[in-house]
Chain A
């Protein structure tokens, strides 16, 4: 079994059995994390909706920590490990470089995850996702993150190793496909990210056991080197998935390889250090540092996203026009397969990431505008649009192809699967827009009670705030329903679904 390959009846690719197994294992764990993250999302949402105010204060901050860690670290990174194996071994017809090490790394990541979950669930890590020093968690929290990061770093190295193996064993001709190139840039950013992670979590672990001092401002600086760069991994992975889904669902062409690949390279060069936009109203750094590091003078990472924002739909349009859907400006889009959940996920991901996530993010990342945005609900309003409406939605869309192509199962409850992206995207649009709007009234993020019971002074937010929080909750509940359907469909398909008939192509 170890050295065997199968030939994919749909794509003709030669798939290494270990690649299949590693993709499946990582995808399954990612889905478990998504489920925990999703349940905690509903609990948090029903608490921020003051009319319901479900959780008491201590549980709220605990559940918020669980939500952040599971969504932003465990769900997304395990899924991205699966993407790395797919983009290297599967797309290049290659064997996985060192399967035994790959499984050891997987085990390390799972061990780290379990350690962190344990500290959080038992109330030993009520420090939120950012764990800002001097808020202190149990040492096992920091150690668990370190082990997880080491495992992920090993998987990233195996990705590069597989690229080398594939090249040497000539399992493909010419340059790697664009999707693999994009995944490689995500992997490079991952190395930079994880290096920052080590640089901050090792000293912080030592601080938690009383061995060294960690300055609060230095912590924020280095942590966001990890925290922001990790989001750029998500962007690069998401964009690679956009090209992948475009190809699978609609035969989108690559309009110009040079342009798309250069845009990926811009991500590597210019985003890894732009974490400064998290520190724009911090006391430790001056304005010159802030203006320079939030932009590198030319905002080239933003340019890169705007380039992909053009080339991804353009590739779809060109592909459709060359197939005959050339009437008017938008026949190519109207006559597209909107009933294919992979396609609808792709389109909504592009729109939500660009319009809601990108515009708000770049605006708040302006040195001075940050003064009216920092730590208000505008911030989570922004990043739910990028990470959830953008990356997570794209990952969900590609799952509908992973199920038949890798798990070799039919997608269960397919009529539900078809509407799932609409529910999820629609809910997230309402959620994100309401949250961002409510933040403009100064409503704080990460806050248990904005009626400020028992505080010395009364704070009256604008009357619209209560209504907006209700709308936000409604959008969130719809999105959670969409997320729940996704989990139901994928779990059922994988474990109880009908196998694909062998030899099936079209």
Chain B
């Protein structure tokens, strides 16, 4: 037998022996499990990054966000508008260096279509402490159907370097307990 430093003598295309074959078969079976879990979770699991995705210009997205804020604003928090959209509606979250706008008030167990986009550079949507993470790319609208499953106050940390004020970039989502019907339209 020889080491990896020397040329093998003669024909080296030889059958593997038993231990190798067993290991390769088991490892391959595991690889198939690794693959199969992904489509399976699309059917059976509740967390997928599919989303409804479109290209969008920064100007158009900013307009949509402003209109969204105008329609559903209920107050301000730390100078940022707070909005309370009805369950089932399109919710717009805008990332800029260095803020998340607006602050969202959502209801537990209600579904929303939450749009994410950036007006300038890459940002990272990281909802704390739940630990939900998505990339926010300028020029793209990433709309995710989300259903909060607990009430409380959640912060949005930016986890993609976006410049010197990166650590100042914190947003907020408030989730309230309440009427759990997912009727569209009809806020207060």
Q: How far is the CA of A247 from the CA of B138 in the complex (A)?
A: 51
Interfacial chain A residues near B8, Cβ < 8 Å? 174-175, 177-178, 254, 257
- B133–A371 contact, CB under 8 A? yes
Say yes or no for B172: interface residue by CB 8 A criterion: yes
Interface of A is mostly: loop
A375-B126 contact in complex given A58-B164, A257-B12, C-beta closer than 8 Å:
yes
Interfacial chain A residues near B42, Cβ < 8 Å? 287
Q: How far is the CA of A449 from the CA of B130 in the complex (A)?
A: 20
Q: How far is the CA of A70 from the CA of B3 in the complex (A)?
A: 33
- A307–B27 contact, CB under 8 A? yes
Q: Interface segment, A21-29, A185-193, A420-428, A440-448?
A: A440-448
Q: How far is the CA of A298 from the CA of B29 in the complex (A)?
A: 9
- B14–A256 contact, CB under 8 A? yes
- B79–A295 contact, CB under 8 A? no
Say yes or no for B180: interface residue by CB 8 A criterion: no
Interfacial chain B residues near A260, Cβ < 8 Å? 4
A441-B135 contact in complex given A258-B14, A300-B31, A457-B78, C-beta closer than 8 Å:
no
- B5–A372 contact, CB under 8 A? no
Say yes or no for B160: interface residue by CB 8 A criterion: yes
Using CB atoms, name the residue of chain A closest to B161: A446
Interfacial chain B residues near A177, Cβ < 8 Å? 4-8
- B20–A302 contact, CB under 8 A? no
Interfacial chain B residues near A310, Cβ < 8 Å? 20, 23, 27
- A441–B129 contact, CB under 8 A? yes
- B167–A57 contact, CB under 8 A? yes
Q: Interface segment, B48-56, B63-71, B84-92?
A: B48-56
How does the 8 Å CB contact mask read for B141-173 relative to A, with 1 for contact and 0 for none? 110000000000001011111111011111110
Say yes or no for B120: interface residue by CB 8 A criterion: yes
- B137–A442 contact, CB under 8 A? no
- A368–B41 contact, CB under 8 A? yes
Say yes or no for A210: interface residue by CB 8 A criterion: no
Interface residue from A174, A246, A302 paired with B3 (Cβ < 8 Å): A246
Interface residue from B10, B13, B37, B142 paired with A366 (Cβ < 8 Å): B37
- Interface of chain B residues 1 through 28 with chain A (CB within 8 A): 1-10, 12-17, 19-20, 23-24, 27-28
Say yes or no for A20: interface residue by CB 8 A criterion: no
Using CB atoms, name the residue of chain B closest to A449: B167
- B133–A258 contact, CB under 8 A? no
Interfacial chain B residues near A243, Cβ < 8 Å? 3-4
A299-B167 contact in complex given A175-B12, A310-B23, A442-B157, C-beta closer than 8 Å:
no
Using CB atoms, name the residue of chain A closest to B160: A375
Q: How far is the CA of A215 from the CA of B2 in the complex (A)?
A: 52
- Interface of chain A residues 207 through 246 with chain B (CB within 8 A): 215-217, 220, 240, 243-244, 246
A176-B79 contact in complex given A310-B20, A322-B1, A447-B166, C-beta closer than 8 Å:
no
Interfacial chain B residues near A279, Cβ < 8 Å? 135
- B4–A254 contact, CB under 8 A? yes
How does the 8 Å CB contact mask read for A382-420 relative to B, with 1 for contact and 0 for none? 000000000000000000000000000000000000000
Interface residue from A216, A311, A447, A452 paired with B20 (Cβ < 8 Å): A311
Say yes or no for B45: interface residue by CB 8 A criterion: yes
- A11–B34 contact, CB under 8 A? no
Chain B nearest Cβ from A176, distance in angstroms: 6
- A259–B20 contact, CB under 8 A? yes
Using CB atoms, name the residue of chain B closest to A172: B7
- B161–A284 contact, CB under 8 A? no
A455-B168 contact in complex given A248-B5, A280-B49, C-beta closer than 8 Å:
yes
Interfacial chain A residues near B39, Cβ < 8 Å? 291
Chain A nearest Cβ from B138, distance in angstroms: 5
Interface residue from B12, B49, B158, B167 paired with A367 (Cβ < 8 Å): B49
Instruction: A303-B31, A455-B169 are known; give 15 further A-B pairs, CB within 8 A.
Output: A175-B12, A177-B6, A254-B8, A280-B49, A283-B117, A298-B28, A303-B28, A310-B23, A367-B49, A370-B49, A370-B133, A376-B133, A444-B126, A453-B167, A455-B168
Closest 8 CB pairs between A and B?
A: A243-B4, A247-B3, A283-B142, A444-B159, A257-B12, A456-B78, A178-B4, A375-B159
Query: What residues of chain B have their CB less than 8 Å away from a CB belonging to chain A?
Result: 1-10, 12-17, 19-20, 23-24, 27-28, 30-32, 34-35, 37-39, 41-42, 45, 47-51, 53, 77-80, 99, 116-117, 120-122, 124, 126, 128-142, 155, 157-164, 166-172
- 12 A-B residue pairs with CB within 8 Å: A128-B161, A174-B9, A240-B4, A254-B8, A283-B141, A299-B32, A367-B41, A368-B38, A450-B167, A454-B168, A457-B171, A459-B157
